[in-house]
Amino acid sequence: MITQIFKKLVSKNKGGQQDEEPRLPDGVRVYVIGDIHGRIDLLERLYAMIEADRNERPIAHCVEVFLGDYIDRGPSSREVLEWMVKGHSVCNKRITLRGNHELYLQDFLSDPGVISAWGQYGGLETLHSYGLKFRMPMGEDQWADIQKGLLDVLPPSHRVFLENCILSAGAGKYFFAHAGVNPQIPLDDQVAEDLLWIREPFLSHGSALPKIIVHGHTPAEKPEIEAHRIGIDTGAYITGRLTCAVLEGSDVRFLST
């Protein structure tokens, strides 16, 4: 199910084609933040830029949409989640989506064997950020102890935050998802696996969809704008570039570290 940010913004275009009306109505702005991956330093810098932008360009309604992948790879996953739990918002509403990396962490809490895959995609950095220590190379004999260690130190507020992240959201003629969508399936019928993991055939689809998909998950050197999508994962954990798409009317601009 699509979570609608503002019900009055929902587009009802027919035939899968975008029309020439503004993508968002007057007086509404959406700030969409890409994959953070444990870089609290970049998050704080980018958010200061968002706050300055809001102050310099006052608007009646603004919404923040975080596209997921708050954790892993970078050094400060715990600090990022703490910021998400406690951080103030400069907008009227904040929407937090789930990324595939959050899914790894949540699955590990119930199945220690998940670390065999999660550890290859930045999970070890997340465990280190919570103060956990383990031998390397990590053997299967450590999995249960590491899981117990994380359960012991993971703040309840972090777990609640992760559980409350959603898979998708919509506003006007935009649809927000971590990875993208299956272009062959109606937006209302998208499944979690695609919303969290898809690359092809979504990325190269090319043709317009009923809504423009704003997503992260697949890093690129700079934001990508195609007929059907806007990709804003700029590989923050390794490039130092964390990107925010600013959507207003039919205009798209970017803030970046």
Distance CA 178, CA 150 (A): 25
- Burial letters for 212-243: b for 16+ Cβ neighbours within 10 Å, e otherwise? bbbbbbbbeeebeeeebbbbbbbbbbebebbb
10 Å Cβ neighbour count for 125? 19
Provide the whole-model pTM. 0.92
| Model confidence pLDDT, tens digit, residues 189-219 | 999 999 999 999 999 999 999 999 999 999 9
Sheet bearing 224-225, strands edge to edge: 3-4, 168-171, 174-177, 212-215, 229-231, 224-225
The two three-digit tokens of residue 18, written as one number: 């975008």
DSSP per position, 176-198 = EESS---TTS-GGG--HHHHHH-
Could you list the pLDDT tens digit for every one of the 257 residues in the chain?
Answer: 334 444 333 333 333 444 568 899 999 999 999 999 999 999 999 999 999 999 999 999 999 999 999 999 999 999 999 999 998 899 999 999 999 999 999 999 999 999 999 999 999 999 999 999 999 989 999 999 999 999 999 999 999 999 999 999 999 999 999 999 999 999 999 999 999 999 999 999 999 999 999 999 999 999 999 999 999 999 999 999 999 999 999 999 999 99
* The two three-digit tokens of residue 223, written as one number: 């934001």
